[in-house]
Amino acid sequence: MKKILLLLLAIQPFTGTFSQKKGKVNFGIEMGFPVVGMDPLTRDGNPLIMANESLKKNIGFTGGAFAEYIGTRKKKDGTLAPGWGIKIKATYSFSEAYSESFTTDEKISIGYMQVPLLFKICLGSGEVNVSSHRSADRYEVRRKNENEYEITHHPGQFTPGYRTKRSFFLYLGPQMGFVNNIRYSAAESSYEAAFETKKQNIQKSYLSYTGGMELWLGRIYLDLSYQKGQGSIYKGSNVVLSGFTGKFGIAF
């Protein structure tokens, strides 16, 4: 986790709002509300459910950081616009499943980390024209000896004459997940004791796939995605994490 955060921080100085000829790098944060949970939520298919026939998913919370590279494409009028992209994220999520039974009050809460690698493609965008400019050149003078100096020329950076004001992306990719903690509560203490025994069968890591769409408005975006678990989080049973997530984010 520390290595991922250091990588994201290292590329932050290279982020910006202007689309560059060779693409650009974005760095930012996002948060949202997932309706993601264990599937199935029935006692017959999920060994972690013991008191009720079935449970219900509840809205949880997710938040994290991302880094992405967005390539460029040339539009019919010759202007440049966002094209394809690659995005990596590190997020933490929390969700729960619960019953409304007056006798058992069964509830399972789960916290998990996810690291998706997403491949994006822009289906449409709108740009506004701005004045292209080049920042001032910089000269670095270093004294080599008493009578000799070395001058290094650093040319200014060129910014193209347009800025993306909105864009729409579709994305798809795999993600690794890591179960951080899982808690269980029930009105009957015997169910809680049985759950503590079953916790040893919980898989700490799993694989899933996620796909969705992003609508960017300047530096802010809205995101709607669906994830489908491929690896079980419980040994001997096919218990996966699946569901929808709505998020919003900002690029710095």
Q: List, for residues 192-245, the tens digit of each pLDDT value.
A: 889 888 988 999 999 999 999 999 998 999 999 999 999 899 998 999 999 999
Q: Read off the CATH number of the domain in which 89 is found.
A: 2.40.160.20
* Beta strand ranges found along the chain (DSSP E): 24-39, 56-74, 80-98, 107-129, 133-134, 138-145, 148-154, 158-159, 162-185, 205-217, 220-229, 240-251
Whether 218 is in a domain gets the answer yes
Q: Is the pLDDT of residue 148 over 50?
A: yes
Name the residue range of residue 41's domain. 2-130+163-251
**For residues 142 and 76, what is the distance between their CA atoms, to the nearest angstrom?**
48
Whether 137 is in a domain gets the answer no
Whether 154 is in a domain gets the answer no
Q: List, for residues 154-182, the tens digit of each pLDDT value.
A: 887 766 555 678 899 999 999 999 999 99
Whether 145 is in a domain gets the answer no
Total domain count, the chain = 1
Residue 127 CB neighbour total at 10 angstroms: 20
Q: List, for residues 107-147, the tens digit of each pLDDT value.
A: 999 999 999 999 999 998 887 666 666 778 888 888 888 77
Q: What is the pLDDT of residue 249?
A: 96
Q: What is the pLDDT of residue 161?
A: 55
Is 103 or 100 the better-scoring residue by pLDDT?
100
Whether 10 is in a domain gets the answer yes
Whether 203 is in a domain gets the answer yes
Whether 70 is in a domain gets the answer yes
Whether 143 is in a domain gets the answer no
